[in-house]
């Protein structure tokens, strides 16, 4: 975890209005809401980051790790993995944020991270990619892979 993180709280970017919230650890398991838009910070769903500016905001400002699924609508294995990724979101929140990047909608992000095959999972911590896994996985394997990473 980033050394900038205060020990009593972590910054979480709202998946709805993209405001950075400071969530105290005491609130962590009490379904915290966004201070700006009042919606749940963790709804058990992945977040579409089909915009480079929004992507950078979530990757750099979240003090929880962000798991990104690089995918495309024309990719059969990607579509097959989509429900598993949502199941994984339910299991991994609020310790992790799960996000999806449509590489057809934002090819610049796929190019920047040199995504050579889809789907590809990539785990970002403190703005940096720490692990990558190409290929479709089931929900159990997604959760296991994320939890096996050391960072």
Contact criterion met (CB below 8 Å) for 145 and 132: no
Query: Quick check: is 34 catalytic?
Result: no
12, 34, 68, 125: residue in contact with Zn ion (rule CB under 5 A): 34
Candidate segments 37-45, 55-63, 88-96, 128-136, binder of Zn ion by CB under 5 A: 37-45
The answer to whether residue 17 forms part of the interface with Zn ion (CB under 5 A) is: yes
Is there a cis peptide before residue 55, judged by omega within 30 degrees of 0? no
Binding-site size for Zn ion (CB under 5 A) equals: 7
Q: Which of 14, 34, 37, 78 is catalytic?
A: 78
Report the half-sphere exposure of 32 (CA within 13 A, side-chain side).
24
The answer to whether residue 36 forms part of the interface with Zn ion (CB under 5 A) is: yes
We find the least distance from the C-beta atom of residue 38 to Zn ion, in angstroms, to be 7
27, 28, 32, 37: residue in contact with Zn ion (rule CB under 5 A): 37
Query: Quick check: is 75 catalytic?
Result: yes
Contact criterion met (CB below 8 Å) for 21 and 13: yes
The answer to whether residue 54 forms part of the interface with Zn ion (CB under 5 A) is: no
The answer to whether residue 48 forms part of the interface with Zn ion (CB under 5 A) is: no
Residues near 94 by beta carbon (within 8 Å), at least 6 away in sequence: 12, 28, 29, 32, 41, 42, 64
We find the least distance from the C-beta atom of residue 17 to Zn ion, in angstroms, to be 3
Helix (H, G, I), strand (E, B) or coil at 134: strand
The answer to whether residue 22 forms part of the interface with Zn ion (CB under 5 A) is: no
The answer to whether residue 14 forms part of the interface with Zn ion (CB under 5 A) is: yes
Task: Give the Cα-Cα-Cα angle 60, 136, 87 (nearest 5 degrees).
Answer: 70
Report the half-sphere exposure of 75 (CA within 13 A, side-chain side).
17
- Residue 136: both structure tokens together: 């479709």
Catalytically active residues are 75, 78
Interface residue list for Zn ion (CB under 5 A): 14, 16-17, 19, 34, 36-37
């Amino acid at each position: 975890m980033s050394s900038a993180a205060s020990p009593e709280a972590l910054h979480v970017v709202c998946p709805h209005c993209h405001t950075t919230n400071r969530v105290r650890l005491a609130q962590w398991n009490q379904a915290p809401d966004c201070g700006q838009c009042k919606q749940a910070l963790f709804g058990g769903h992945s977040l579409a980051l089909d915009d480079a500016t929004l992507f950078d905001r979530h990757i750099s400002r979240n003090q929880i790790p962000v798991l990104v699924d690089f995918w495309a609508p024309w990719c059969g294995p990607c579509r097959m993995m989509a429900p598993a990724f949502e199941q994984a979101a339910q299991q991994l929140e609020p310790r992790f944020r799960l996000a999806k990047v449509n590489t057809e909608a934002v090819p610049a992000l796929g190019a920047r991270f040199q995504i050579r095959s889809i789907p590809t999972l990539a785990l970002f911590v403190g703005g940096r990619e720490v692990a990558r896994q190409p290929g479709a996985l089931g929900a159990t394997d997604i959760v296991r892979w994320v939890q096996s990473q050391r960072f």
